[in-house]
Amino acid sequence: MLTNLMIAGFGGQGVLFTGKIIANTGLLEGKEVSWLPSYGPEMRGGTANCSVCVDDEPIGCPIVLEPDILIAMNVPSFDKFIGKVTKGGCVVYDSSLIEAEQTREDIRYRPIPATELAARHHLDKFANIVLLGYTLQAVHFTSYETVCEAIKACVPKSKQKLLTPNLDALRLGYEFQETKS
């Protein structure tokens, strides 16, 4: 089953790292995977997005033009990609940073105050992983255990002190319950 994901935000928010983790989940499951980063020349502070395809079959094109899942980390990314999400798709976005009008009725919206939650739990630089955990809860693209293994594979040996906060942020997002008003 083909899954096309788009992760988008500003450089420095962990967009590419999040995509790398998702791609690694596919590798751990023995699937075909593509990971295609795209960013401006300024890196931090500029726009960044990452296309990830995970499939049981060979992937013909690594570019995600119509994501099944969009993870939006800022307003420009939300605005740019919301119209491209496939019918029946899911949009997970950081409601701490994005006040979104949910105008499309053919997709699911899953807001989470990822930046606020991360800060409240002393995980200030891990809002991207909070969003990843919440995305996993929303669409179950793989198992929780597989994402944990992918994080372990993606955190370099030189940065092992970041492993526990990444796993904590994943759990925080995965366990988050949206309150209905």
> Which CATH number do you get for residue 145?
3.40.920.10
Give DSSP secondary structure letters for 86-123.
PTT-EEEEETTT-------SSSEEEEE-HHHHHHHTT-
Distances in whole angstroms, Cα of residue 178 to Cα of each of 54, 89, 113, 174: 27, 18, 9, 11
Which is higher by pLDDT, 103 or 163? 163
Residue 180 lies in a domain: no
The 10s digit of each residue's pLDDT in 85-106 is 999 999 999 999 999 888 999 9
The 10s digit of each residue's pLDDT in 39-77 is 876 556 678 999 999 999 999 888 999 999 999 999 999
Average pLDDT over the chain, rounded to an integer: 94
Say if residue 138's pLDDT is above 70.
Answer: yes
Residue 179 lies in a domain: no
Residue 104 lies in a domain: yes
Total domain count, the chain: 1
Residue 19 lies in a domain: yes
By residue range, what is the domain housing residue 169? 3-174
Residue 181 lies in a domain: no
Determine the pLDDT at residue 45: 66
Q: How far apart are CA 65 and CA 86, in angstroms?
A: 9
pTM: predicted TM-score of the whole model, two decimal places: 0.94
Residue 162 lies in a domain: yes
Residue 112 lies in a domain: yes
